[in-house]
């Protein structure tokens, strides 16, 4: 075997360069027989390192050096002058750019490379990572991007549109299908949970900051910030930083720290050059730790055996699965549990979701919620339920304030939940107003539970309609702050009337106690009249007062109004004699009576358990049984006694 080399020659390779000749060096081996089959010879390397090659595949532009080793084609560059691959779609719009030192190329089939600085483009935005392993299927335009095993490659991805850092090992971009997968589900034996996080650029947690400091007397993040500011540069020597951290340290002593900071997005680290690039997160964390700048706690953690997130390039939204919970504000105690563990991430950290919102001592349950990051509020198109929990004044073993649920739910809430002031997302300034629920339309309280008079108060006709309201300081309020003005709709038991719901003693439901006007109010569309006290709670629609019906007067302290029935007891029942009307009725006096009024059957049933009813003005006529007062007159069933006889009947007409 003999090796020979030509320092300057010209390559004719029509498959890549057509009829053009490429100047470069050539070397080969002279071998016996066919021993070189499949080997790395012959070899050619272009002299020019900025060759433009456009026929690796449709829509692919390459700029760099060309190298041939046996049957393998390489595109190459250097660390300071990397080779570049760009991919364009059918509209000739750039969708991907990769910068790297070495690309392995199979024309029309595959491009593979390691440690590639990668950018995915969409409109005016991009997803960026400084060092990835790539595998590009030229035919299908499927681009697989994987974080390398080197610790210095563990940076998160950055999405400029969503203003988040995305921590994931795998991204697959389907460049012809307008979709990008984060943590794409793999076909494998056994289950594997993929974990991906989407972290706001303004994210800060005191616990994370202290964890990096550990037991040291100083925080490395703060030291890096000071060194960068003193040197006036974001590029630092790792050796220099090691000495600034501790005069006894070498680069080897701080490697694990550097790799941890890389993985969390604080720095980029070139292990070959031993060079650190200080990122904005260093400055943000240091200033946030001293409350000098505002920050947020917006971080979506996804854990699932399926695909974590799918970015639809047409809608510009990321559909994220496996999200068990999300916190919007630690200080204001605002967070949420999404239905089906699914959220939709939109531009600039906006979010669409269905689920349950926690806001101080209240919760909102519903669909179609929209979190507006800039305004720092949640738009509520229609919250199914708004539930209130009243602080008890007691705390649990962890010091958490205990609260008990009230007995009513406010339903069909439309409005906005103001989490905090837009410039106070961290809650570093205590503004008593927040969090605040501002409704924009009527909402409702219903009383149709089976535990409330057997569920007779049907929600279609019996409810309290709340005016649009503001409920401020959801994380610190008392029973006295629960007040909602609105209108009572009582299924025509009484005419609609204005009232204010408050927290009722006893069952802690929303209700009221009020009085009718002195002249009373028509009852059951004018079938009778009622005057006195009226109350509403989960005990029912109750009253203490006087009912007038067809000449009868009932004074009672335990009236139960139902949509088609009134029940009560009374010490006395008085019906005055009427000889002037078309339908005559006698005088009746009763003691200790129980009354059932069925107004839409035009009947009032009066039963006396204490003593018989006394009938008529003259004589002693006593009825033991039940009186039935109707517009057609007074009827009865039972036994009528008088001094001369006794008579029993299922229907007396008087």
Nearest Cα neighbor of 575 from 637, 634, 625, 532 is: 634
How confident is residue 1, by pLDDT bands cut at 50, 70 and 90? low
Q: Say what the pLDDT of residue 585 is.
A: 82
CA nearest neighbour of 109 among 150, 57, 66, 144: 57
pLDDT category, 397, cuts 50, 70, 90? confident
Question: What angle, rounded to 10 degrees, do the helices at 238-245 and 251-263 form?
Answer: 100
As a whole number of angstroms, the longest Cα–Cα distance in the chain is: 148
Q: CB under 8 Å to 188, separation ≥6 — which residues?
A: none
- Residue closest to 497 by CA, chosen among 453, 530, 471: 530
Provide mean pLDDT across the span 269-281: 92
Beta strands of 396-434 (E only): which ranges?
Answer: 401-405, 410-418
pLDDT at 481 over 90: yes
pLDDT tens digits for range 402-445: 899 999 999 999 999 999 999 999 999 999 999 999 999 999 99
pTM score, two decimals?
A: 0.89
The answer, yes or no, to whether residue 580 has pLDDT greater than 80, is no
Q: Which residue reads 């008529």 in tokens? A: 616
Contact 69, 45 (CB under 8 A): no
Q: pLDDT exceeding 70 applies to what percent of the chain?
A: 97
Spatial distance between the Cα atoms of 259 and 276, rounded to a whole number of angstroms: 11
**What rounded mean pLDDT belongs to the chain?**
92
What is the pLDDT, as a whole number, of residue 34? Answer: 57
Residue 370, H or E segment: strand 362-372
Residue pair 493/528 in contact by the 8 Å Cβ criterion: no
What's the CA gap between 605 and 634, in Å, rounded?
10
Burial of 355 per CB tally in 10 Å (0-12, 13-18, 19+): buried
Q: What CATH class has 2-155? A: mainly beta
Average pLDDT rounded to a whole number, residues 538-559: 94
The answer to whether 182 and 303 are in contact (CB under 8 A) is no
- Per the DSSP assignment, residues forming a β-bridge with 11 are 22
pLDDT tens per residue across span 210-260:
998 886 778 999 999 999 999 999 999 999 999 999 889 999 999 999 999
pLDDT at 376 over 70: yes
Closest CA to 550 of 525, 526, 519: 526
pLDDT digits (tens, 9 = 90+) for 287-344: 999 999 999 999 999 999 999 999 999 999 999 999 999 999 999 999 999 999 999 9
CA 332/CA 378 separation, integer angstroms: 14
- DSSP helix/strand/coil, 40: coil
User: In the predicted model, is pLDDT for residue 188 greater than 70?
Assistant: no
Residue 135: band (very low, low, confident or very high) from pLDDT cuts 50, 70, 90? very high
pLDDT given at position 509: 97
What's the confidence (pLDDT) of residue 70?
Answer: 85
Residue with tokens 């199914």: 384
User: What CATH number labels 206-289?
Assistant: 1.10.10.10
Torsion over CA: 326, 161, 263, 240 (sign):
negative
- For the cut 60, the answer to whether the pLDDT of residue 380 exceeds it is yes
**Distance in angstroms (rounded) separating the CA atoms of residues 494 and 595:** 19
């Amino acid at each position: 075997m003999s090796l020979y080399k030509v320092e300057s020659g010209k390559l004719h390779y029509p498959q890549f360069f057509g009829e053009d000749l490429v100047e470069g060096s050539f070397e080969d081996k002279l071998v016996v027989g066919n021993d070189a089959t499949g080997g790395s010879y012959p070899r050619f390397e272009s002299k020019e390192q900025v060759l433009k090659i456009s026929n690796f595949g449709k829509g692919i532009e390459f700029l760099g050096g060309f190298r041939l080793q046996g049957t393998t084609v390489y595109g190459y560059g250097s660390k300071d002058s990397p080779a570049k691959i760009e991919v364009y779609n059918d509209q000739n719009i750039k969708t991907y750019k990769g910068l790297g030192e070495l690309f392995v190329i199979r024309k029309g089939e595959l491009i593979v490379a390691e440690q590639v600085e990668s950018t995915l483009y969409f409109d005016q935005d991009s997803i960026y990572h400084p060092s990835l392993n790539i595998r590009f299927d030229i035919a299908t335009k499927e681009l697989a991007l994987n974080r390398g095993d080197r610790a210095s490659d563990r940076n998160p991805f950055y999405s400029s549109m969503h203003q988040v850092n995305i921590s994931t090992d795998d991204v697959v971009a389907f460049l012809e299908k307008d979709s990008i997968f984060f943590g794409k589900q793999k076909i494998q034996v056994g289950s594997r949970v993929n974990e991906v996080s989407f972290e706001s650029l303004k994210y800060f947690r005191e616990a994370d900051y202290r964890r990096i400091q550990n037991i040291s007397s100083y925080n490395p993040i703060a030291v890096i910030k000071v060194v960068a500011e003193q040197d006036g540069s974001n590029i630092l020597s790792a050796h220099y930083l090691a000495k600034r951290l501790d005069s006894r340290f070498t680069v080897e002593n701080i490697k694990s720290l550097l790799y941890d900071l890389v993985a969390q997005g604080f720095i980029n680290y070139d292990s070959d050059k031993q060079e650190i690039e200080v990122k904005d997160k260093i400055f943000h964390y240091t200033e946030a730790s001293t409350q000098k700048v505002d920050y947020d706690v917006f971080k979506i953690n996804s854990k699932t055996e399926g695909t974590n997130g799918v970015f639809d390039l047409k809608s510009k939204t990321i559909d994220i699965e496996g999200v068990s919970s999300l916190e919007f504000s630690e200080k204001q105690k605002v967070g949420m549990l999404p239905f089906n563990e699914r959220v939709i991430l939109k531009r600039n950290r906006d979010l669409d979701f269905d689920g349950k919102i926690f806001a101080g001592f209240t919760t909102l349950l519903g669909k179609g919620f929209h979190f507006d990051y800039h305004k720092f509020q949640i738009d509520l198109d229609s919250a199914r339920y708004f539930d209130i929990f009243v602080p008890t004044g007691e705390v649990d073993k962890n010091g958490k304030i205990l609260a008990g649920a009230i007995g009513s739910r406010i339903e069909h809430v439309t409005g906005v939940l103001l989490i905090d002031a837009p410039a106070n997302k961290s809650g570093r300034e205590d503004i008593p107003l927040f969090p605040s629920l501002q409704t924009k339309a009527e909402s409702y309280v219903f009383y149709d539970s089976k535990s409330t008079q057997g569920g007779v108060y049907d929600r279609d006709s019996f409810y309290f309609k709340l005016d649009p309201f503001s409920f401020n300081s959801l994380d610190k309020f008392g029973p006295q702050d629960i007040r909602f003005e609105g209108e009572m709709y009582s299924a025509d038991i009484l005419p609609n009337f204005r009232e204010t719901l408050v927290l009722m003693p006893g069952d802690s439901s929303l209700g009221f106690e009020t009085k009718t006007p002195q002249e009373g109010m028509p009852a059951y569309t004018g079938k009778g009249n009622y005057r006195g006290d009226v109350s509403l709670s989960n005990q029912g629609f109750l009253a203490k007062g006087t009912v007038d019906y067809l000449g009868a007067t009932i004074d009672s302290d335990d009236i139960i109004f139902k949509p088609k029935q009134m029940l009560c007891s009374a010490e006395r029942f008085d019906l005055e004699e009427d000889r002037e009307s078309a339908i005559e009725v006698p005088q009746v006096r009763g003691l200790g009576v129980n009354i059932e009024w069925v107004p839409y059957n035009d009947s009032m049933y009066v039963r006396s358990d204490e003593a018989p009813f006394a009938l008529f003005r003259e004589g002693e006529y006593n009825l033991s049984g039940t009186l039935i007062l109707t517009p057609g007159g007074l009827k009865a069933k039972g036994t009528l006694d008088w001094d001369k006889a006794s008579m029993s009947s299922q229907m007396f007409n008087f």
